[in-house]
A and B are shown apart, each in its own frame.
Chain A
């Protein structure tokens, strides 16, 4: 599916091409995103997965050019939205893209809304700004958006302040705010992390439903593979600022080829697994400034060879739309789910059948 889309005559909605976002700090240059490429098609949900500090959010903020510069700096690559290079746009042109064509929802619904404005007003002002609607029409749109995100009594709720709403409702308001101008791309940065599980499922359902109706492409940034399995079409796994694996979602869960992907899956609780201790990935994500010459995951990996420490593994295609950056991918792939994963001594629920 993805392979066929790679043909040049079908430009993707959003294309990240060898993006390098670096931060100039006193301690040296931090390469938060170092040569990441991916593409998003209309109507598709792309999951971006990784631990904290992998560069997931920095990639997303780079797309909207929201990183303060300095210290952030684009050291290379391109971000193309419908063929337009976003990195070459002026701040003014970029403002027309933000919220209007590409929108974003954040992790914390508690702090993402202005406490001193009613939620209807916050939505209405965004609409007035981008679409030039009058006050009344904008308010009507705000109420309509609140209805769209399934808030009960949207007329009354529009006049309420954020503190009068629950976390789940505020996240719905955030989604309404982000979608008020019908953007083509929605970036969801951990949209469900701060919510309880039942609300999480509702919000994911809502996003899927809205996507089917409005046809936007969604970039879903998360560290939760459950969320990925639930709602993504394709997944990019990031580690230390690089893409280590990319695959259609079923393929990734059936045949994870990067040791890091396997480790993430193994450390996910499963319904069938019983009460044994979850395996964890030993060590931490290395700070981007102390990366060695070889594979960034090598110090934490169970498959490490001499070669892994010497040179970085290139990204190689291993199937339809499936690519992995690992020298030992074949060996990793051979270990079927039936075997315990060799990361921790404790027995694991290796399957991760989500």
Chain B
């Protein structure tokens, strides 16, 4: 019996170890959504990161003589109502969108993890924390973000905070439900029995075992955050006008859509592509990391 079970394991190990790259390639081939999403997002990200170098014009430079120019060699995406170069503004706008998405995902997840673990492991905290989260969830997240923006000054920080706060309850509920099941795992109980302090148990034994669903949730939050940032900027309560943003650009272009629809088209396309790519990555990660769920869908 033992010899039978040993042989294939040994053979498998011998085959697998030298070709980690080929295994990764095979894994990626099994998850096409992940590849498409990653390719799309890296394109947008590369353009945004390289914005200072590839932008053909200053994104804020006005040129009243060159208003509503259609796409051309000089202005790749044309110009807007004030003669600003749309290509430069679009790639710069990507920076705002992507940083908001990333920051919100990181902040909302961290805050959610902290509160969720508190609710899941500290008995007296569960009621107050969860009821507060229920209260936050009862308010539509965009409305809450607008309200938060209304009481603060426009800026990157305030936008990020205003978008983060409504996203936190989702993470808290996820983390708490995971914590409730992990709390009953015997290795967590065993760690208690061995005198491990609670913070160490949380960091060592609980957090690493919930990282997969957290990553997936964080990607979806990033996608939502990018969309909400664009929406806030479109409504004029988002980023201040001196920071180019896809939402602001579309808001500016809205009045002239009949004469220069390209001014709204390009930022819109970029926004759609970015949100789509992040969502594709989220779906792909979920399927790749949680095979059980993938089979159900």
A interface vs B, CB < 8 Å? 64, 66, 68, 70, 94-100, 103-104, 106, 108, 111-117, 125-126, 129-130, 174, 177-178
Contact = CB atoms under 8 A, between A and B. Distances in A.
Contacts of A70: 123
Given A68-B123, A99-B196, A129-B196, A106 B204 contact: no
B187 A104 contact: no
B123 to A, nearest CB: 7
A130 B193 CA distance: 13
Interface of B: 123, 185-187, 189-197, 200, 204-205, 208-209
A112 B194 contact: no
Contacts of A108: 186
A64 B197 contact: no
Contact of A98 (B186, B194, B200): B194
Contact of A114 (B123, B192, B205): B205
Nearest to B183: A68
Contacts of B192: 66, 98
B193 A103 contact: yes
Nearest to B190: A112
B191 to A, nearest CB: 8
Given A68-B123, A114-B209, A116-B208, A130 B195 contact: yes
A94 B208 CA distance: 26
B204 A117 contact: yes
Given A117-B204, A129-B200, A174 B190 contact: yes
Contact of B195 (A96, A112, A114, A174): A96
B204 A125 contact: yes
A111 B208 CA distance: 16
Given A111-B187, A114-B204, 16 more contacts: A64-B193, A66-B192, A94-B195, A95-B196, A99-B193, A99-B196, A100-B195, A104-B194, A106-B186, A106-B193, A112-B190, A114-B205, A115-B187, A117-B208, A129-B195, A177-B190
A330 B192 CA distance: 45
Nearest to B2: A166
Given A68-B123, A111-B185, A106 B195 contact: no
A230 B190 CA distance: 26
Nearest to A94: B195
B196 A112 contact: no
Given A129-B196, A130-B195, A112 B209 contact: no
Contacts, number: 68
15 contacts: A66-B193, A70-B123, A95-B195, A95-B196, A98-B195, A104-B190, A112-B190, A114-B208, A114-B209, A115-B187, A116-B209, A125-B200, A126-B196, A130-B195, A178-B194
Contacts of A64: 193
Contacts of B185: 111
A227 B119 CA distance: 41
A115 B193 contact: no
Given A103-B194, A104-B193, A126-B194, A111 B123 contact: no
A116 B186 CA distance: 14
Contacts of A100: 195
B190 A106 contact: yes
Contacts of A68: 123
Contacts of B186: 106, 108, 111-112
Nearest to A123: B194
Contacts of B197: 95, 129
Contacts of A94: 195
B73 to A, nearest CB: 55
A111 B205 CA distance: 12
A94 B192 CA distance: 11
Select the residue from B191, B197, B208 with max chain A CB neighbours within 10 A.
B191
Closest 8 A/B residue pairs (Cβ): A99-B194, A98-B195, A99-B195, A104-B193, A111-B186, A116-B208, A112-B186, A114-B187
A311 B295 CA distance: 59
Contacts of B189: 66, 106, 112
Nearest to B200: A129
Contacts of A66: 189, 192-193
A206 B11 CA distance: 33
A218 to B, nearest CB: 15
Given A68-B123, A108-B186, A177 B194 contact: yes
A61 B193 CA distance: 9
A126 to B, nearest CB: 5
Contacts of B209: 114-116
A114 B206 CA distance: 9
A113 B194 CA distance: 12
A111 B123 CA distance: 24
Contacts of A129: 195-197, 200
A57 to B, nearest CB: 11
A106 B197 CA distance: 19
Nearest to A103: B194
Nearest to A177: B194
Contacts of A114: 187, 191, 204-205, 208-209
B291 to A, nearest CB: 16
A147 B73 CA distance: 74
A129 B193 CA distance: 13
Contacts of B193: 64, 66, 98-99, 103-104, 106
B283 to A, nearest CB: 24
Contacts of A112: 186-187, 189-190
